[in-house]
Amino acid sequence: MVRPRVTLVVPCYDEERRLRPEAFLEALEAHPRLDLCFVDDGSRDGTRQVLEALRARASDRIRVLALEQNGGKAEAVRQGVLASIAAGDSLVGYWDADLATPFSELPAFIEVLDREPDVDVVLGSRVKLLGREVERRFHRHVYGRAFATVVSLMLGLPVYDTQCGAKVLRSTPTLRAAFEARFQSRWIFDVELLMRLVGAWQGEGLEPARKVVEVPLRVWTDVPGSKVGVRDAIRAGVELAELGRRYGAPLRAARRS
Ligand SMILES: Nc1nc2c(ncn2[C@@H]2O[C@H](COP(=O)(O)OP(=O)(O)OP(=O)(O)O)[C@@H](O)[C@H]2O)c(=O)[nH]1
Ligand SMILES: [Mg+2]
């Protein structure tokens, strides 16, 4: 049986210094089913040139989408995913440019989608287990746990980690519809995406808990140079309340029915 290829969207905003072209080329070599779609999110530095040089070295497997204006990670990922679906890719995903999640984790994601035809969404999950290298700073770990607990209650789905930058998705019509409209949240669009999907699955009479699988990562490194700070953590809380107002009531109603 021919296994579907997977295209990972890599959003890049001012990543000239953090991007490691060799790591991406090595990943293409190690994972024959992998293609990459970089989205330059209106970077002000030399990101575009770095990406073009990278594409020239593997032009059959690398696409570069250049957005003129910075629109934030949510919009960059959305544009990349829509372009990949339009190109006919049946597995799409997104992966942070800093490679905090190394590509060596990718097979675990793809295996789930190969094995479980009913599962459409695979999330990387930063569970700090003994024997694993998941190095989140303490305050981010604690904040992340609190955040995920609130999100779990809102979704009615016990998700451990919504904010990991590594996710692989099956490009079903429901998924395409979930990416159609711009996300209202700039910082926690992953949650908004899940809210849209859970709502849609409930509408189709499907059990959301059977559609999403979390893969506990073996390695996750907190790569320096993150552009997310304390203010963003506060904004994330505000955005979560806004998402609750917009998507919360229909989700609760569907759970009761
Ligand atoms: N912060 C930010 N990132 C963007 C934007 N557009 C695209 N990105 C990309 O989003 C990804 C995540 O950004 P990071 O700054 O690594 O976020 P982070 O703080 O490391 O988040 P964690 O990896 O969850 O700790 C990177 O690939 C960025 O290049 C934007 O406007 N702002
Ligand atoms: Mg990061």
Q: How many whole angstroms separate alpha carbon 16 and alpha carbon 12? A: 9
Q: Are 43 and 71 in contact (CB under 8 A)?
A: no
Q: Which ligand is nearest to the CA of 67?
A: 1
Q: Are 68 and 39 in contact (CB under 8 A)?
A: no
User: Which residue's CA is the nearest one to ligand 1's atom 20?
Assistant: 226
Over residues 76-111, the pLDDT tens digits come to: 999 999 999 999 999 999 999 999 999 999 999 999
What's the pTM?
Answer: 0.95
Which atom of ligand 1 lies nearest, measured to the CA of 140?
25
Domain boundaries, the chain: 6-256
Tokens of 182: 């711009």
Return the closest-CA partner of residue 194 out of 158, 234, 230: 158
Domain 6-256: which CATH class?
alpha beta
Over residues 118-146, the pLDDT tens digits come to: 999 999 999 999 999 999 899 889 999 99
Ligand 2 centroid to Cα of residue 252, in Å, is 32
Residues in the ligand 1 pocket, defined by CB under 6 Å: 11-13, 15, 41, 70, 72-73, 76, 96-98, 100, 163, 165, 226-228
